[in-house]
Structure 1
Amino acid sequence: MTKQREMAKIVFDALDEKKGEDIKIIDISEISIMADYFVVASGSSSTQIQALVRNVEENLHKAGYVMKRMEGDKNSSWVLLDFGDVVVHVFNREDRLFYDLERIWSDGKIITPEEL
């Protein structure tokens, strides 16, 4: 398993553990130099969004990965975590529908956790 795939799997598991909704892993490695994977999930409240974000940070940190940048804060409806090869987007439901990253990055390939 490559480092990028391992990171994406850790992110998926961390989001799933905290009941993230509609978690999607998008392989953008062949269409972007920005990252290899986007992982997108929704939370039902700002409290859940923060729990999702914290769990991703903690699990990747335990695995030895360092976050390069974070956009958003505890009051945000969209938090972005940039780990270099993997970028995590955690939205509230409404903003996820509005920004529709899955459509914007539709040239990427949505993969299942089992494919990682």
Structure 2
Amino acid sequence: MDKQIGGNNILNSEEILEVVVKAADDKLAEDIMVLDVRGLTSLGDYFVVMNGRNERQMGAIIDGIVEAAHKNKIAIKNQEGKDSGSWTLLDLTDVIVHVFSSSDRSYYNLEKLWSDAPLVDISGMVSE
């Protein structure tokens, strides 16, 4: 059941995750991975990691996620690095989104850094 504040639906972290993954997939984000970091950090419930083919596509992915968040009344607490062209972070409170260039994703290797976090099956959220 959705909680309501002031008439706006508040989505739980799993619902926010689905909005993010679908928006990223719609913009053809590559290698979308979701790490379940509940119990490992107080930063959030999920880290979503993906990359774009180039700076222009990375911008489109971020814009698509931001647009979907606003459409679904999901607050974006912070956005960092969009102008860097290599790594952008979106903080949607319980869902932290990382959009990398391919080279920076390999360099930072968040998947290895958070290797204790189980991977979330997103096959039902993305197009085949």
1:78 is matched with which residue? 87
Give the secondary structure class of the aligned counterpart of 1:109.
coil
Who is 1:38 aligned against?
47
2:115 partner SS? coil
**Counterpart mapping for 1:1-116 below 5 A:** 3-114=12-123
User: Is the contact between residue 15 and residue 56 of structure 1 (CA under 8 Å) also seen in structure 2?
Assistant: yes
- Count of residues in correspondence between the two structures: 116
TM-score between both structures, scaled by the size of structure 2: 0.85
- 1:114 CA drift (Å): 4.8
Superposition TM-score, scaled by structure 1 size:
0.94
- Runs of 4 or more consecutive aligned structure 1 residues displaced over 4 Å after TM superposition: none
> How big is the alpha-carbon RMSD for the aligned residues of Structure 1 and Structure 2?
1.6
1:56-104 CA deviation, whole Å, 9 max, x = no partner? Answer: 0110111111100011123420000011100000000000000000000
Larger RCO: 1 or 2 (CA < 8 Å, sep 6+):
1
Calculate percent identity across the aligned residue pairs: 37
Q: Which has the larger radius of gyration?
A: 2
Unaligned runs of 5+ in 2: 2-10
Indicate the SS of the match to 2:82. Answer: coil
Point out the structure with the larger helix share: 1
Say if 1:46 and 1:74, in contact at 8 Å, map to a contact too.
no
